[in-house]
Amino acid sequence: MAALDFGVYLTPRDGRHSHELLRRAEDSDLDTVWVGDTLGDWRDLDAPLLDTWVTLGALAVESRRVRLGMLVTNLAWRRPVEVARFAMTVDQLSGGRFTLGLGCGEVDDQVMAGVDVLTMAPRERVDRLAEGVVVIDRLLRGDRSAFHGRFTSYDAAATAPGSVQQPRLPLMVAGNGPRITRLAADRADIWNTWIDNGDADAFHALTVDRMQRFDERLVANGRGLAAVTRSLLVFDDVMQPWADDDAVPRLVAQFRPLGFTQFVFYPPGPDQLEAFSRITTRVLPSLRG
């Protein structure tokens, strides 16, 4: 089985906040640092939040070791051509340490994106994601030929200087629904899912069935079961990873047998920084075996 990958999801409140958490991640056994492309904090629209694409550019220059990722940018309202340019830029600035996560889900902050997105039917959301993945994959591979789809159309494209990572930087598709799961099996390098019912045990039971269908799709595509990394995002209202030293090992023991090798956790609160340092420098290495 592939090596374990542990990451932390940042919500950059201000420059100092993101700088401090990045420094702690760089000094720990964490592998990845992620941000989400939201127009505000979906839990509290009055809370400060920096633009995360701009923040990623700063983190790319400032960091040296950890891999950076977008989890996720929403193709229900983001244009795939601009997303490809954003991703290419962060990959260049980071020296090839960037993973692009793509999704289309409904979150509270999408109210800020306008009524068209707020009222968009779920089918159209997934349609936009499916077409957008194709567009972004083409552009990041340097394909400059014309594309004319339902939502995106162009006769020519500028792709230079391209991705540092070849043939392109990794693409993650995030979602729990059956169409998105199939899309991830068809085109993604990473499939991200998250505990969407507030109960890890109940979610585990659901995931057994999802994983079987996911594996069947991979085999049907001729990709092989190891072709796509399985990634799990854990919200802090489901599990507090920094509350005790056994929380992360319990979760890994529960989900790694299903093929999950990447685990992404919400960041520590101010009163959890000591525990965060201890767990990320002592507990996580012990899980790698």
Segment 156-199, tens digit of pLDDT: 999 999 999 999 999 999 999 999 999 999 999 999 998 877 77
Provide the whole-model pTM: 0.95
Packing angle of the helix pair 178-187, 200-221 (nearest 10 deg): 50
The residue type of 143 is D
Return the pLDDT at 64.
Answer: 95
Instruction: Return the sign of the alpha-carbon dihedral for residues 175, 249, 280, 4.
Output: negative
Segment 194-214, tens digit of pLDDT: 887 777 888 888 889 889 999
Return the pLDDT at 272.
Answer: 93
The answer to whether residue 268 sits within a structural domain is: no
Task: Give yes or no for residue 283 having a pLDDT over 60.
Answer: yes
Segment 34-73, tens digit of pLDDT: 999 988 777 777 889 899 999 999 999 999 999 999 999 9
CB of 178 closer than 8 Å to CB of 217: no
Quick one: average pLDDT of 121-131? Answer: 94
The answer to whether residue 86 sits within a structural domain is: yes
Count of structural domains within the chain? 1
Segment 81-121, tens digit of pLDDT: 999 999 999 999 999 999 999 999 876 555 566 667 778 88
The answer to whether residue 180 sits within a structural domain is: yes
Residue 103 pairs in a beta bridge with 74
The answer to whether residue 242 sits within a structural domain is: no
Write out the residue range of the structural domain in which residue 21 sits: 7-227
The answer to whether residue 22 sits within a structural domain is: yes
Q: CATH number, domain at 210?
A: 3.20.20.30
What is the distance between the alpha carbons of residues 106 and 109, in angstroms, rounded to a whole number? 8
The answer to whether residue 159 sits within a structural domain is: yes
CB of 90 closer than 8 Å to CB of 56: yes
Segment 10-32, tens digit of pLDDT: 989 888 878 888 999 999 999 99
Task: Give yes or no for residue 239 having a pLDDT over 90.
Answer: no
Return the pLDDT at 105.
Answer: 84
The answer to whether residue 266 sits within a structural domain is: no
The answer to whether residue 187 sits within a structural domain is: yes
Quick one: average pLDDT of 218-236? Answer: 93
The residue type of 120 is M
Scored b (16 or more CB within 10 A) or e, 206-228 reads ebeebbeebeebbeeeeeeeeeb
Return the pLDDT at 151.
Answer: 97
